Chains A and B, each alone.
Chain A
Amino acid sequence: MLVASFVTLAFLALPVIAVFARVPPSKLVSQLGNPVVTDALLVSLKTTLAAQALILVLGTPTAVILARRFRGREALVTLVELPLVLPPAVAGLGLLAALGRTGLLHTSIPFTQTAVVLAVAFVASPLYVRSAIAAFEAVDANVVAASRTLGAGPVRTFFRVVLPLARAGLASGAALAFARGLGEFGATIMFAGSLRGVTQTLPLAVYSEFDVDFDVALAVSALLIVVSAALLVTLKWLPSLSTSRFRFAASS
């Protein structure tokens, strides 16, 4: 058992360590000033944040509805979760078939930054919505009922009672969706193409620099590892952070 866990840990850690071992840290840092990297970083930040806003604004009400019991709910939840297990290349093809110029809706979105945002939102939203559904489901219906009997309207109850109670689940879902969005590759390259400063995100830069300048590809990879790890650490932090704050809020 010990051997198996050691093998597992080594297997999972090795590629991550290798990225940093391959190039000296000073060189990694100097490559981060490379315009290819800074352009990709900007594109990634812009598109991932925009996608994140879309996911939160549209995903939260969706999750509220899907957290209720009604006929056909399971089918809808499955639909929402599908992009999670779909191969990203299939997602990209689907987006092209739906929103391409020759697609169902005949839009001119492909090859634009909007296309990146939509690709990211498509693949990352299930992570948030799933987690948000679970968070809303876990909110004690009695507490909600109490708030209503005490005279708070549905909107006020949602923002003052439901949302704070569901906060931990929402935040962890949001962090996961952000991390997944930052790493999005397959759907983006198919639906949005790759153009430096417009649609070339960090993962796309890794791919295109792989056969041009391996060191740059490594530097971008290292950056993505650091950011992803930071997001994961934040994720571990979130539950304790928000429950303690809620306790504080409840006791005050």
Chain B
Amino acid sequence: MIAGAVLTIFAAASLTNVFPQIDHTQRYSFAGSNALAAQIRQGAPADVFASANTSLPQQLYDQGLVEKPVVFTRNALILIVPKSNPAQIHSVFDLRKSGVKLVVAAPGVPVGDYTRIVLHNLSLDDALKNVVSNESDVREVLAKVALGEADAGFVYTTDARTVRGKVATIGIRWSAQPIVQYAVAVVKSSKNLAAARYFVAKLQRPWAQSKLRAAGFLAPK
């Protein structure tokens, strides 16, 4: 029964590379978690929702749309610049320099909210004046920096690994990092509830966890 059903998994864009490694038999829709949550609210036929934060699944849970979410992994933020580093950015504090083209995710997109927390923790709120685009998910930020069109962008450390050679990374000190927890939940309207619950359980097993860690994700606390 479980082997037969192909699940539709709505997952945060940052899970684009690792989820198919954990289970390549499912159908995935990767996008900004907030866009996916909005689609689920509009009745999109998802079986599982994996979000790059805990608040969106919690909201859907409170609205009776998903089962109780569980945290299955964590992540951290990093600043990336194109390999050629056109704006000569060598530390996060260089983001305040005028004329820097900073690309971030929009507020409401989990990584967009985390980005603003990081900047606030570093007392760098004024760097937001250099934002030239609010993107809809982390992979858009990644693409624009990797392409060299943007001078810098905030992504997850796991995203930066997927474009090695195209970007250079600048770490963010742990004390300034937000808590980036990924929560997953079974969508209540799923026609494959058993398979969906199995998938959610599988994510927490050692094998899936080792895949996540190999991709740079952190163990759930």
Binding site for B on A (CB under 8 A): 96, 100-102, 110-112, 192-196, 198-200, 207-208, 210-212, 214
Asked if residues B147 and A102 are in contact (CB atoms below 8 Å), the reply is: yes
Q: List 25 A-B contacts (CB under 8 A).
A: A96-B147, A100-B147, A100-B148, A101-B149, A102-B148, A110-B149, A111-B132, A111-B133, A111-B150, A193-B132, A193-B133, A193-B135, A193-B144, A194-B133, A194-B134, A195-B132, A195-B134, A196-B134, A207-B136, A210-B35, A211-B32, A211-B35, A211-B38, A212-B108, A214-B41
Does B185 count as interface, using CB distance less than 8 angstroms? no
On chain A, the residues within 8 Å of B148 by CB distance are 100-102
Does B34 count as interface, using CB distance less than 8 angstroms? yes
Asked if residues A195 and B108 are in contact (CB atoms below 8 Å), the reply is: no
User: Contacts A111-B101, A193-B144, A214-B38: A208 and B134 contacting too (C-beta < 8 A)?
Assistant: yes
Asked if residues A208 and B106 are in contact (CB atoms below 8 Å), the reply is: yes
Binding site for A on B (CB under 8 A): 32, 34-35, 37-38, 41, 86, 101, 103, 106-108, 131-136, 144, 147-150
Asked if residues A212 and B34 are in contact (CB atoms below 8 Å), the reply is: yes
B153 to chain A, nearest CB (A): 11
Asked if residues A111 and B134 are in contact (CB atoms below 8 Å), the reply is: no
User: Contacts A111-B149, A196-B134: A101 and B34 contacting too (C-beta < 8 A)?
Assistant: no
Given contacts A111-B101, A195-B132, 20 further A-B contacts (CB under 8 A): A101-B86, A102-B148, A111-B103, A111-B132, A111-B149, A112-B132, A193-B103, A193-B132, A193-B135, A194-B136, A195-B131, A196-B134, A200-B134, A207-B136, A208-B134, A208-B136, A211-B32, A212-B106, A212-B107, A214-B41
User: Contacts A211-B34, A214-B38: A199 and B136 contacting too (C-beta < 8 A)?
Assistant: no
B69 to chain A, nearest CB (A): 18
On chain A, the residues within 8 Å of B34 by CB distance are 211-212
**Among B34, B86, B135, B149, which residue has the most Cβ atoms of chain A within 10 A?**
B149
B86 to chain A, nearest CB (A): 7
Per the bound structure, the CA–CA distance linking A198 and B134 in Å amounts to 11
Per the bound structure, the CA–CA distance linking A212 and B35 in Å amounts to 8
Asked if residues A194 and B106 are in contact (CB atoms below 8 Å), the reply is: yes
B99 to chain A, nearest CB (A): 10
Asked if residues A210 and B149 are in contact (CB atoms below 8 Å), the reply is: no
Chain B minimum-CB-distance residue to A199: B133
B111 to chain A, nearest CB (A): 14
On chain B, the residues within 8 Å of A195 by CB distance are 131-134
Chain B minimum-CB-distance residue to A213: B108
B81 to chain A, nearest CB (A): 13
Per the bound structure, the CA–CA distance linking A18 and B152 in Å amounts to 41
Ranked 10 nearest A-B pairs via Cβ: A193-B133, A211-B38, A111-B132, A102-B148, A211-B34, A211-B35, A212-B108, A110-B149, A100-B149, A195-B133
Asked if residues B135 and A194 are in contact (CB atoms below 8 Å), the reply is: yes
On chain A, the residues within 8 Å of B37 by CB distance are 211
Per the bound structure, the CA–CA distance linking A26 and B103 in Å amounts to 36
A213 to chain B, nearest CB (A): 9
Q: Which of A193, A199, A210 contacts B38 (CB 8 A)?
A: A210
Per the bound structure, the CA–CA distance linking A208 and B133 in Å amounts to 12
On chain A, the residues within 8 Å of B41 by CB distance are 214
Chain B minimum-CB-distance residue to A212: B108
Per the bound structure, the CA–CA distance linking A110 and B101 in Å amounts to 10
A140 to chain B, nearest CB (A): 50
Per the bound structure, the CA–CA distance linking A158 and B90 in Å amounts to 59
B41 to chain A, nearest CB (A): 8
B59 to chain A, nearest CB (A): 12
